[in-house]
Amino acid sequence: MTALVGDIGGTNARFALWRGQQIESVRVLPTVDYPRPEDAIRAYLQGVGLAVDALQAVCLACAGPVSGDEFAFTNNHWRLSRKAFCQGLGLSNLLLINDFTAMALGMTRLREGELIEVCPGQSETGAARLVIGPGTGLGVATLLPLKDGGWRALPGEGGHVCLPIGSAREAALWTRLHDKLGHVNAEAILSGGGLLELYRTSCALDNEAVKLTSPAEVTAAALNGDAYAAAVLEQFCVWLGRIAGDNVLTTGARGGVYIAGGIIPRFVEFFRRSGFSQSFRDKGNMSRYFDNIPVWVVTAKYPGLEGAGVALQQLLEGRHSGD
């Protein structure tokens, strides 16, 4: 079987061929360059020298809740009708899944050297695992082990839960964010754009001049010894710990936590030294609940594509992978 798998986020669409239960011919295309996902797929196929009619199936992992015929991508301009998509490309098999369903299933395909330990621990047998990752947005999913040795991914929109407040400074930052944004969700801070928003809000709170103009500049300044930028990045890590800990308590994810997405791997050593671990377990009388829960940063290049392939394979084999 030759299938196409895609992992489509707010900024980039990653495509690959799925053959022999492996991905190959990976290409990354900016979503802004194409009016529709169909156009990007045709460009990808042309680039790898494959005709559209050579495909037996397509699985696309998409940012946002997936249901019904019409799908609007959360963080880019694309829209998709399942019916029109299949007719336009001559397909009979199209699987749409949430992007963090794919990311979660991608954790089952990790290879040696693709995890960096942040918090030591031991995965509890049979327990759920949490997958969370700041990128263009904040993705959250739960991975459940099945009795037959397989896995089921539970999609959700955990990036849109309310941003928690755990200190007086966080309350002051939240107040300014609320004045500007109204509802303050976790993604408002725990994302690429959110890091810049956190920097600007911090500057306004502290009467500091705004000198940095992109998330990359904030990160680079922090890593190069800028004390103020480092404090902002530290707050980012602390807030990620609070959200991850809340999700562990909600889902019972004592099997471990995977920190995925494109942001944290850029400053892993800073992250490991940050207040993430303390805020992760700072839950009052439930703090001991976290004593043996491992946390890892995922450094694999294309876990979303791998997970889309797993989802497609499970569908073809009649096993449930999640929505």
User: 115-299: same fold as 3-104+302-316?
Assistant: no
- Each domain of the chain, given as residue ranges in start order, spans 3-104+302-316, 115-299
> Which of 68, 95, 75, 87 has the alpha carbon at shortest distance from 12?
75
Is 135 labeled as ligand-binding? no
CB atoms < 10 A from the CB of 275, how many? 16
* Structure-block tokens of residue 205: 């709170």
Q: What is the DSSP string of 196-235?
A: HHHHHHHHHHHT------SHHHHHHHHHTT-HHHHHHHHH
The answer regarding whether domain 115-299 maps to CATH 3.40.50.1370 reads no
Is 282 labeled as ligand-binding? no
What is residue 257's predicted lDDT score, i.e. its pLDDT?
98
Q: DSSP 3-state assignment of 53?
A: helix
What is residue 323's predicted lDDT score, i.e. its pLDDT?
47
Confidence (pTM): 0.90
Is 6 labeled as ligand-binding? yes
The answer regarding whether domain 3-104+302-316 maps to CATH 3.30.420.40 reads yes
Per-residue pLDDT of the chain (323 residues; tens, 9 = 90+): 789 999 987 778 999 999 999 999 999 999 999 998 999 999 999 999 999 888 889 999 987 777 767 787 766 788 888 888 888 888 888 898 988 899 999 999 999 999 999 999 999 999 999 999 998 889 999 999 998 888 999 988 888 999 999 999 999 999 999 999 999 999 999 999 999 999 999 999 999 999 999 999 999 999 999 999 999 999 999 999 999 999 999 999 999 999 998 899 999 999 999 999 999 999 999 999 999 999 999 999 999 999 999 999 888 777 554 44
Is 11 labeled as ligand-binding? yes
